[in-house]
Amino acid sequence: MFTSSRMSSFNRHMKTHTNEKPHLCHLCLKTFRTVTLLRNHVNTHTGTRPYKCNDCNMAFVTSGELVRHRRYKHTHEKPFKCSMCKYASVEASKLKRHVRSHTGERPFQCCQCSYASRDTYKLKRHMRTHSGEKPYECHICHTRFTQSGTMKIHILQKHSENVPKYQCPHCATIIARKSDLRVHMRNLHAYSAAELKCRYCSAVFHERYALIQHQKTHKNEKRFKCEHCSYACKQERHMTAHIRTHTGEKPFTCLSCNKCFRQKQLLNVHFRKYHDANFIPTVYRCCKCGKGFSRWSNMHRHSEKCGSGEAKSAASGKGRRTRKRKQTMLREAMKGQKEAAKGWKEAANGDGVISAHRSLCLLGSSDSHASVSQGAGITGACHHAWLIVLLFLVETGFHCVSNS
């Protein structure tokens, strides 16, 4: 809950809950909620950097950028601390994102698939896999990439003769820029007086690089084990979701229809599919047969089998099963026919039995085995009709003989 001792701060905060943006930039016509945001934006057009660092020659457009710069480069102050572990951050937004690693919350949901992220940056990066956007371009060969990190790796691997290389003296890392090397050494190889504990075991380190290398040994370790079955997983949030399959707990409720779900992602997918009037489902079509799927993974799995021998063998197997089922039904029908004839034989006299037997043979030949062979080729629908007519003839013939 937001609170403030000043009315101006409270009013400024309230504008964040509305779409009102009355302040217009005369250069690009972009609108802003406050005059301060507009002033900072105009400075990006004019190149004005009014906020200067007292410790170096850097200057910045906003006061917030100056504060972050001083914390990162000079004071190394990290005022935002996690209440659940020893994590601390320069920025409040990074702390908020870190806390979600404890709670398992992933509020940023992809509108085209089930992917969800803890922060908007990763969601934006994920969305490029759907749109095909590649905003990062190699300045040497003009190849485009979806991520800046992928582009940097490309430059190092393909154009290393044109780029200066700086090797870390403590590990095998090669970095293109000297400033990045300094950041790498400070973040990973600098001695830490505070103990850095492994999140998976009781090991303790004083260098972040050593901690990272140690934690990689736990990478494929499934340390979360279900107490109800043999299921095991690497992450606690996956175990929490799995336990609900045993307990039946469904804590996420749809506000529109009161349907409950075990996972928030499933609730989001349900809401968009059934209650969002503007939602247009994405259809992934097989390029071989044109069949549509709601998920790309299902389409990809189908396309690997589509048109292959595996699909044909599956179809032929289905045909064999159908023929076998029909033959079984025919045998059962013939068995029932024989049992019925036996019952009539016990209930009737000798003449009636002979007449009934003749009536039974009217639709077949005089050879009982040949009649059965003919019946084997009759389909299910015709076979049923034949049995009904046969029963009628038997009853009619039996009564006629008795009356005579």
Confidence of residue 297 (pLDDT cuts 50, 70, 90): confident
E-strand stretches of 107-248: 108-109, 116-117, 136-137, 144-145, 166-167, 174-175, 196-197, 204-205, 224-225, 232-233
Rounded Cα distance, 60 and 57, in Å: 10
Rounded Cα distance, 185 and 376, in Å: 83
Q: According to the model, what pLDDT value does residue 320 have?
A: 61
> Would the pLDDT of 304 be above 60?
yes
Interval 306-320 mean pLDDT: 54
CA 243 from chain centre, in angstroms, equals: 19
> Would the pLDDT of 324 be above 80?
no
Rounded Cα distance, 202 and 341, in Å: 83
Q: According to the model, what pLDDT value does residue 340 have?
A: 60
> Would the pLDDT of 246 be above 90?
yes
CB 177 within 8 A of CB 185: no
Rg of the chain taking only CA atoms, in angstroms: 38
- Write the burial class of residue 403 (CB in 10 Å: 0-12 exposed, 13-18 middle, 19+ buried): exposed
Q: According to the model, what pLDDT value does residue 65 have?
A: 87
The listed range with the strongest mean pLDDT (33-42, 253-262, 370-379, 386-395) is 253-262
Q: According to the model, what pLDDT value does residue 321 have?
A: 64
For strands 59-60 and 80-81, give the pairing: unpaired
Residue reference for tokens 């908007």: 120
Short-list 387, 332, 329, 380, CA closest to 360: 387
The answer for residues whose C-beta is within 8 angstroms of residue 214's C-beta and 6 or more apart is: 198, 203, 205
Short-list 301, 267, 271, CA closest to 284: 301
CA 349 from chain centre, in angstroms, equals: 75
The H or E element that residue 261 is part of is strand 260-261
Please state, rounded to an integer, the average pLDDT across all residues of the chain: 77
One-letter amino acid identity for 347?
A
Lookup: tokens for 7: 């009315």
pTM: 0.36
Q: According to the model, what pLDDT value does residue 336 have?
A: 64
One-letter amino acid identity for 159?
H
Range with the poorest average pLDDT among 15-19, 83-87, 345-349, 374-378: 374-378
Range with the poorest average pLDDT among 4-8, 14-18, 332-336: 332-336
**What are the residue boundaries of the structural domains of the chain, listed by start?**
224-282, 331-403
Name the more confident of 392 and 167.
167
**197 Rama class: left (phi>0) / alpha (psi -120 to 50) / beta:** beta
Rounded Cα distance, 161 and 228, in Å: 58
How far is the first Cα of the chain from the last one, in angstroms, to the nearest whole number? 101
Which residues on adjacent β-strands are paired with residue 205?
Answer: 196
Confidence of residue 401 (pLDDT cuts 50, 70, 90): very low
CATH 3.40.1390.10 correct for 224-282: no
Q: According to the model, what pLDDT value does residue 352 have?
A: 44
Interval 159-183 mean pLDDT: 77
pLDDT in tens, 84-130: 888 889 888 888 888 888 888 888 888 888 888 888 888 888 888 88
pLDDT in tens, 355-386: 444 444 444 444 444 444 444 444 454 455 55
Q: What percent of the chain has pLDDT above 70?
A: 75
